Structure formats: C-alpha cells, structure tokens
Amino acid sequence: MDSKNLAKIILLEDEAEDEEVILWWSSQREDFDRLYQSRKEEGYFKILMKNHLDTNEQKFREFFRLNKEQFQFVLNIVSTDLKKKSTNTVHDPISPEEKLALALRFLATGETFKSLSFAFRISPSYISVLIQETLEVLSKHLVPIFLPPPNATDLKKNATEFWSKWNFPNCID
C-alpha cells in the first residue's frame, strides 16, 4: 500500500471518529436542552414563585431574604437595565424578574451554579453570566442609594471614635 492510499484511509477513519464524537455530543446536548427548554413550565420561578411564594409573604421572605415590597422596589430600579429584547437566536429572553430572583437566591443561599441550573432550568454557564450581569446592575443602582460615599466630616468623626475607644491614631485619613 502506497503512502497516498494510507493517508486517505487515515483521513477517512479520522472523519468517521469525528462524526461519532459529533453524534455523541449532540445526543448528550439534546438531553440538557430538554431540561432547559422546560424552564417556563417547570423551573423554580414558574412553579415556586408564581404558584406559591406570591401568596405567602413569610415564605417569600425566607426564600429571597427580601419581602415582596422590597423585591418590587429593587426590580423597579434595575428592570430597565436587565431587560433584553427578543432576537433571532433568543426568542423568549429571561425576564428581569427571573434574573433578579436567580441572583437573590444565589446571594441568599450560596448555592452552586449547577444546583441553581437544575432548579431554575437555565444552563450553569448562562447562570454565571446572568448573576454577574445582575450583580453589576444592582451595584450600579443600589450602592449610590444605600451606601453613599463618606464625606470628610464622617471620616473625621470615625477617626476620633477610634482614637478615643482604641487609642489608635490616624486610622482614617
């Protein structure tokens, strides 16, 4: 067998292996896609929040660490930045309300992205994107409201308190 024929055979075998890998990968991916496609019907947001937490203030607070009024207050502030338009690739984008619920649940529990993925029916990689995006928007809008930059008077007062209580000079300059 000459080297040309040998090269052809190796390439054909390599292509066959590639096709097998692609078929295996697509079959694996299909299982995950079905899981994530059921988000609107089976995810935490649909079942738990819309069907149960909306009617129970105490459980809502236990779940998100905010009451419904606080949740709505935060949502009203950040919803315009979290809202995405429908595109050719994303026909039904995740609502700002669901993004906020996901981020608050992450902050309240520290659950892994994989765990949240099964609960909210969103892929772990996209959850990482959503949480980062949501936390940036929360920081952008809420820090100026609830954590204003300190002024010189406040800093001097804190320095004086440290000096009088701990005998620790120049802790804030």
pTM: 0.67
Q: How far is CA 171 from CA 30, 45, 61, 148, in A?
A: 59, 46, 38, 20
151-158, long-range: CB < 8 A, 24+ apart: none
Report the candidate in 40, 20, 39 with the shortest Cα–Cα distance to residue 28. 20
Residue-wise pLDDT tens digits, 31-43: 556 665 655 556 6
Residues 7-61 pLDDT 10s = 655 655 655 565 655 555 555 554 556 665 655 556 667 767 777 777 788 888 8
Whether the Cβ atoms of residue 97 and residue 75 lie closer than 8 Å to each other: yes
Q: Which element (helix H / strand E) includes 153?
A: helix 152-166
Of 101, 102, 84, the closest CA to residue 93 belongs to 84
Q: Where are the domains of the chain?
A: 1-37, 44-166
